Amino acid sequence: MVAVDRPKRLARLRENLARLNLAAETIAADIACWRPPAPAPFVLLDAPCTATGTIRRHSDVARIKSAADVDRLARVQDALLDAAAEMLAPGGRLVYCVCSLEPREGPERAAALLARRADLAREPIAAAEIGGLSAAITAEGSLRTLPCHLAAQGGLDGFYAVRLRRMA
């Protein structure tokens, strides 16, 4: 496994890997420019976002994030998605995720990428893959959790993930 991110975020990742007794090669780089030495069979893009999905735990998100933040981050997300798609080997899978409730940062980014890239297709996520929580699977087969999901257990953060496959 290779993790590519900004130096500050990599420091936290290294701490977490050590705490969990896991290993990964870590590379400090701009993912929009960096490319692996060979096409990758799997890419996970946990993109920077407004974090509006964490509002139940961080109520200040509603006050400090604006429409301009969503617009700016959507541009960043598009650049990162394009870079991630370029890294994929034929038949490879890309998982894009954000902890945002904003459609512009989740489903709209996935739709825009699919419109730009005819070589990518959705690979639906099944409820069985996420512990059977069928309410979190969208009609398109993406994962969309909401604060109201599992309310009796305290609820979930808002989260979006889509799985795409690069055609051979």
Question: Which CATH number characterizes residue 90's domain?
Answer: 3.40.50.150
In a domain, 92, yes or no: yes
In a domain, 37, yes or no: no
In a domain, 38, yes or no: no
Taking phi over 0 as left and psi of -120 to 50 as alpha, with beta for the rest, 131 belongs to left
Distance (Å, whole) CA 15 – CA 160:
26
In a domain, 39, yes or no: no
Biggest alpha carbon distance in the chain? 47
* Residue 136, C-beta contacts closer than 8 angstroms, at least 6 positions apart: 127, 130, 143, 144, 145, 146, 149, 156
pTM greater than 0.75 (yes/no): yes
pLDDT at 141: 97
Residue recorded with tokens 């975020």: 9
Q: What is the mean pLDDT of residues 41-58?
A: 94
The mean of the pLDDT values for the chain is 95
In a domain, 9, yes or no: no
For residues 81 and 45, the answer to whether their CB atoms sit within 8 Å is yes
Domain extent, residue 81, equals 45-166
Q: What is the pLDDT of residues 128-144, one digit of tens each?
A: 999 999 999 999 999 99
pLDDT at 2 over 90: yes
- Supply the residues annotated as catalytic: 99
Q: Cα-Cα-Cα-Cα dihedral of 51, 53, 56, 59, to 10°?
A: 30
pLDDT-above-70 percentage for the chain: 100
In a domain, 151, yes or no: yes
Q: What is the pLDDT of residues 62-113, one digit of tens each?
A: 899 999 999 999 999 999 999 999 999 999 999 999 999 999 999 999 999 9
Domains: count for the chain: 1
In a domain, 29, yes or no: no
